Amino acid sequence: MAKYKMHVLVCGGTGCHASQSDLLLDNLKTIVADKGLDNEVQVIATGCFGFCEKGPIVKIMPDNTFYTQVTPEDAREIIEEHLIKGRKVNRLLYVDPENQEHIADSKHMGFYKKQLRIALRNCGFIDPENIDEYIARDGYEAMAKCLTEMTPQQVIDVMKKSGLRGRGGGGFPTGLKWEITNRSVSDIKYVVCNADEGDPGAFMDRSILEGDPHSVIEAMAICGYCIGGEHGLVYIRAEYPLAINRLKIAIEQAREYGLLGKNILGSDFSFDIELRYGAGAFVCGEETALIHSMEGYRGEPTVKPPFPSVSGYFEKPTNVNNVETFANVPVIINKGAEWFSSIGSEKSKGTKVFALAGKINNVGLIEVPMGTTLREVIYEIGGGIKDGKKFKAVQTGGPSGGCLTEKHLDVPIDYDNLIASGSMMGSGGMIVMDEDDCMVSVAKFYLDFTVEESCGKCSPCRIGNKRLYEILDKITQGKGTREDIDRLRNLSTVIKDTALCGLGQTSPNPVLSTIDNFWDEYIEHVTDKKCRSGQCKALLQYFIDAENCVGCTACARNCPVNAIAGERKGIHVIDQTTCIKCGACMEKCKFNAVYIK
Amino acid sequence: MANIKLSAEKLDELKAICKSFKNDKGELINVLHKAQGLFGYLPAEVQEVIAKELSVSVAHVYGVVSFYSFFTMLPKGEYPVSICLGTACYVRGAEKVIDEFKRILNINVGETSPDGKFSLACLRCVGACGLAPVVLVGEKVYGRVAPDGVKDIVAEYTK
């Protein structure tokens, strides 16, 4: 490998890609070449840095300078000022929102201070399309160690001792799962990587695959060695073209290096990986449904047992793990079970990646030790609520999770604590909501999702969730009653107890947790017919403030149903019976005379 | 067997796709992905050909096509507009953006405009939550879209 004096790392993750980071990369490369610096400066695209809010991100190594919101036009200035003259481009540095100071080194930024990157260790560090860079960061060392120095049982014991639990949401101990698959007797066994990340608002797995595909490949091979399987399959969403492409390149490179294929590293062990594409069905995140989908069927779940570890893909023992779980494996082998289990809380070891999004200042991908509190995540890493609004709730676990409130902010995050608080870990989506969000509407939003994604196989999920949605809709339309809230609660309990798979058993969680934590808001909707956040249109009324109205007629002219009466230069009035609550008057009024109540 | 209206050339291409997967019924989803790439959508006659090649019933193929949201039996517009309805986009106002697209294009979600130019769809999370709300027109991503920015996006494609 050529020795470069400086490295320019450009984020090539999806978020930054959408803000033209590819063009920026091209510009940097061209200008570096024009200046004759291509022997000293290396420009590469990396995986996600995590700080998506401020993308596109450019990092200069070795001085660790972190530039934010860089446009393709900024390329020249960065090269001429920073690389050639050694002066940092101040206007592109991150500004600390508290003291307005420019921070050059990402280590000192609030967003990164509390983070500990294990699964994301290489994201934003290496070129994901170059296997040499992965190898330079101890890549494939763990696999070599397993194949040459350890028996499968020894590796399984390390995994068990490390305390790693499934990161897809279930939290099943990974080592134990491997052991069960290892014990199943069969001529053929499969290793499956579940990369069907379907939670709306979650992008952890995709970022790992885009930023560090080799870590998943290496871990799958280690898993194959442990369970005695030679076939690996990655089930990935077709909606992730960039991740698919990087994974394909990585598999090809691993084959060229003899790290996949027959007799890996001269051992008796052979292993190879194929891709299978999902086609947009949330239920396929459930392992039995995922397996049916890979076999070419509708992705409908079946009753467990038999568990896939015993009878899975084409009825052969199949070990299914999620992307983030796999990404942890090589580090655990390299650094040892004791190291890993020293991080985290008592029952949840290691770290967890979260996709932090919603009404928060620092949207992005974060990784924190288990046991970090929600408050630390939201206020220290996330930088607090957007536009200085008031925090209302944080939703974890996606459509299967629940909404947590102010009183949960100091709960240390781990599998068991989140369940005890009425939500769950899920795969790691974390959506922050502020005072403008109506919790009944949020519950309705999730049910809308579940209704659409229910596979229809069992009636509690197919019919029950539809009824839940209808009752919630009725409440947001202002037609709900007190009895409807009880009905929601009863029906939710029945669905949880009787649905076939994980999707149905958890789908009422958003309803139950919002009823529990935001009881007042439900009552306001059904008895006072009011929505305090102003989200439920049917519960709003528009009025014109006589003091501010100057009689410009703008509202009346723009009203699509002629509900506003008033003379020119006279005060206008809205006829509530005709008004369709479209909000056009409010938008057009230049004098802030229109208000809602 | 219904009448096949596909041109002989396209029919051969479709059969070649099936063959590239060894006419294996386990590869049905991969075949459908390729077929949709070829035709832009999966009309009934395409499904019939695939069923025959893979030796499965048309009902089985239809069952799979209708199950997965990625597959469509209706042709998309020249400029397919997709609005992200992931939770992050939802809490940052994606619904109002959808309403505005519906109003300007005068079509509902899942429909294509009569001139075939635009189609409107919702999708769940493209993973660019930092840019919420996100709209895709074809492959191009528009971030932080406000309702009053919708008309400018549409205007870009109606010149």
Does the pLDDT of residue B159 top 80, yes or no? no
Closest Cβ–Cβ partner in A295, A357, A449 for B129: A357
Q: Is B87 on the interface with A (CB under 8 A)?
A: yes
Sign of dihedral through CA atoms A320, A200, A241, A33? negative
Q: Enter the ipTM.
A: 0.86
**Domain span(s) for CATH 1.10.10 in chain B:** 8-67
Query: Could you give the CA distance from residue A261 to residue A13 in angstroms, rounded to a whole number?
Result: 29
In chain B, residues 47-76 whose CB comes closer than 8 Å to chain A: 63-64, 67-71
Q: Is B86 on the interface with A (CB under 8 A)?
A: yes
CA-based radius of gyration for chain A: 27
Closest Cβ–Cβ partner in A207, A296, A358 for B88: A358
Q: In terms of CA atoms, which chain A residue is nearest residue B29?
A: A296
| SS3 of residue A161 by DSSP | helix
**Amino acid, res. B149:** G
- Measured in degrees and rounded to the nearest 5, phi and psi for residue B120 equal -120, 130
DSSP β-ladder status, A190-195 and A318-322: parallel
CA distance A280 to chain B (A): 5
Give buried/exposed letters for A14-48 (b at 16+ CB in 10 A, else e): bbbbbbbbbebbebbbebbeeeebeeebbbbbbbb
> Tens digit of pLDDT for each residue in A406-453?
999 999 999 999 999 989 998 888 999 999 999 999 999 999 999 999
Q: Would you state the pLDDT for residue B4?
A: 57
Sign of dihedral through CA atoms A289, A290, A295, A299? positive
**Domain span(s) for CATH 3.40.30.10 in chain B:** 79-157
Q: Does domain A439-528 have CATH number 3.40.50.620?
A: no
Continuous H helices in A380-526 = 415-420, 439-453, 459, 465-476, 482-498, 502-506, 509-517, 519-523
> Tens digit of pLDDT for each residue in A196-227?
887 777 889 989 999 999 999 999 999 999 99
DSSP β-ladder status, A94-95 and A102-103: antiparallel
User: Inter-chain contact B91–A429, Cβ cutoff 8 Å?
Assistant: no
User: Inter-chain contact B68–A199, Cβ cutoff 8 Å?
Assistant: no
Query: Could you give the CA distance from residue A593 to residue A583 in angstroms, rounded to a whole number?
Result: 13
Q: Would you state the pLDDT for residue A370?
A: 96
> Tens digit of pLDDT for each residue in A452-511?
999 999 999 999 999 999 999 999 999 999 999 999 999 999 999 999 998 999 999 999
Q: Which CATH superfamily is domain A6-106 in?
A: Glutaredoxin (3.40.30.10)
User: Inter-chain contact B26–A357, Cβ cutoff 8 Å?
Assistant: no
Which of A332-336, A466-470, A540-544, B102-106 is least confident? Answer: A540-544
DSSP β-ladder status, A231-237 and A272-278: parallel
Average per-residue pLDDT in chain A?
93
Q: Choose which CATH entry (3.40.50.11540, 3.40.50.970, 3.30.70.20, 3.10.20.440) describes domain A131-336.
A: 3.40.50.11540
User: Inter-chain contact A201–B67, Cβ cutoff 8 Å?
Assistant: no
Angle of helix B58-67 relative to helix B44-53, nearest 10 degrees, comes to 120
CA distance B15 to chain A (A): 18
Greatest CA separation found in chain A?
91
Q: How far apart are the first and last CA of chain B?
A: 44
Q: Which of A355, A396, A276 is nearest to A48 (CA)?
A: A355
Assess contact for B6 and B41: CB atoms under 8 A. Answer: no
DSSP β-ladder status, A402-405 and A542-544: unpaired
Q: In terms of CA atoms, which chain B residue is nearest residue A298?
A: B64
Q: Which residues, in sequence order, are CB contacts of A218 under 8 Å at separation 6+?
A: A139, A140, A142, A143, A259, A329, A330
User: Inter-chain contact A198–B124, Cβ cutoff 8 Å?
Assistant: yes
Q: Is B27 on the interface with A (CB under 8 A)?
A: yes
Distances (CA, A) of A70 to A91, A100, B141: 10, 19, 17
Closest Cβ–Cβ partner in B64, B71, B124 for A297: B64
> Tens digit of pLDDT for each residue in B122-137?
887 777 888 889 999 9
Closest Cβ–Cβ partner in B27, B33, B128 for A15: B128
Q: Would you state the pLDDT for residue B5?
A: 74
Question: 3-state SS string over A494-550?
Answer: HHHHHCCCHHHHHCCHHHHHHHHHCHHHHHHHHHHCCCCCCCCHHHCCEEECCCCCC
Average pLDDT of the segment spanning A341-348? 94
Q: Would you state the pLDDT for residue A538?
A: 86
Q: Which CATH number is A541-596 given?
A: 3.30.70.20
Q: Is B143 on the interface with A (CB under 8 A)?
A: yes
Partners of B72 on chain A (C-beta within 8 Å) are: none
Query: Could you give the CA distance from residue A521 to residue A6 in angstroms, rounded to a whole number?
Result: 56
Give the domain ranges of chain A: 6-106, 131-336, 351-434, 439-528, 541-596
Q: Would you state the pLDDT for residue A170?
A: 81
Q: Choose which CATH entry (3.40.50, 1.10.10, 1.10.3210, 1.10.4100) describes domain B8-67.
A: 1.10.10
Partners of A295 on chain B (C-beta within 8 Å) are: 26
> Tens digit of pLDDT for each residue in A359-407?
999 999 999 999 999 999 999 999 999 999 999 999 998 888 999 999 9
Query: Could you give the CA distance from residue A151 to residue A155 in angstroms, rounded to a whole number?
Result: 7
Interface test with B, best of A51, A432, A445, A451 (most B CBs within 10 A): A445
> Tens digit of pLDDT for each residue in A6-64?
999 999 988 888 888 999 999 999 999 999 999 999 999 999 999 988 989 999 998 89
User: Inter-chain contact A433–B86, Cβ cutoff 8 Å?
Assistant: no
Q: Choose which CATH entry (3.40.50.300, 1.10.1530.10, 3.40.50.1370, 3.10.20.600) describes domain A351-434.
A: 3.10.20.600
DSSP H or E stretch at residue A145: helix A141-149
User: Inter-chain contact B29–A445, Cβ cutoff 8 Å?
Assistant: no
DSSP state of A83: I
Structure tokens at A273: 């990986």
> Tens digit of pLDDT for each residue in A168-202?
888 899 999 999 999 999 999 999 999 988 777 78
User: Inter-chain contact A201–B88, Cβ cutoff 8 Å?
Assistant: yes
DSSP assignment string, B65-89: HHH-TT--SSPPPSEEEEEE-SHHH
Q: Is B107 on the interface with A (CB under 8 A)?
A: no
Q: What percent of chain A has pLDDT over 90?
A: 80
User: Inter-chain contact A279–B32, Cβ cutoff 8 Å?
Assistant: yes
Question: 3-state SS string over A91-128?
Answer: HHEEECCCCCCEECEHHHCHHHHCCCCCCCCCCCCCCC
Does the pLDDT of residue A133 top 70, yes or no? yes
Query: Could you give the CA distance from residue A414 to residue A352 in angstroms, rounded to a whole number?
Result: 9
Structure tokens at A89: 């481009």
Q: Is B110 on the interface with A (CB under 8 A)?
A: no
Structure tokens at B14: 């479709």
Angle of helix A204-211 relative to helix A213-227, nearest 10 degrees, comes to 100
Residues present in chain A in total: 597
Query: Could you give the CA distance from residue A351 to residue A368 in angstroms, rounded to a whole number?
Result: 5
User: For residue A534, what pLDDT band results from cuts at 50, 70 and 90?
Assistant: confident
User: Inter-chain contact B130–A449, Cβ cutoff 8 Å?
Assistant: no
> Tens digit of pLDDT for each residue in B51-99?
999 999 999 999 999 999 889 998 888 999 999 888 888 888 899 999 9
Query: Could you give the CA distance from residue A55 to residue A234 in angstroms, rounded to a whole number?
Result: 29
DSSP H or E stretch at residue A27: helix A21-34
Q: Give the torsion through C-alpha atoms of A467, A473, A476, A479, to 10 deg.
A: -70
User: Inter-chain contact B30–A299, Cβ cutoff 8 Å?
Assistant: no
Closest Cβ–Cβ partner in B28, B68, B88 for A431: B88
Q: Which residue has the tokens 């939770």?
A: B87
Q: Would you state the pLDDT for residue B1?
A: 42
Q: Which residue has the tokens 């995590």?
A: A50
- Judge if A439-528 and A541-596 fold alike in CATH terms: no
DSSP state of A1: -
pTM listed for this prediction: 0.90
> Tens digit of pLDDT for each residue in A228-258?
999 999 999 888 888 999 999 999 999 999 9
Closest Cβ–Cβ partner in A206, A363, A429 for B87: A429
Would you tell me how many other CB atoms lie within 10 Å of the CB of residue A73? 11
User: Inter-chain contact A445–B70, Cβ cutoff 8 Å?
Assistant: no
Closest Cβ–Cβ partner in B26, B90, B123 for A445: B90
Query: Could you give the CA distance from residue A400 to residue A231 in angstroms, rounded to a whole number?
Result: 31
Query: Could you give the CA distance from residue A149 to residue A171 in angstroms, rounded to a whole number?
Result: 29
User: Inter-chain contact A357–B30, Cβ cutoff 8 Å?
Assistant: no
Fold of B79-157: Glutaredoxin (3.40.30)
Q: Which residue has the tokens 């990161």?
A: A167
Q: Which residues, in sequence order, are CB contacts of A345 under 8 Å at separation 6+?
A: A370, A371, A412, A414, A417
Q: Which of A125, A95, A122, A99 is nearest to A111 (CA)?
A: A95
CA distance B63 to chain A (A): 7
**Amino acid, res. A415:** Y
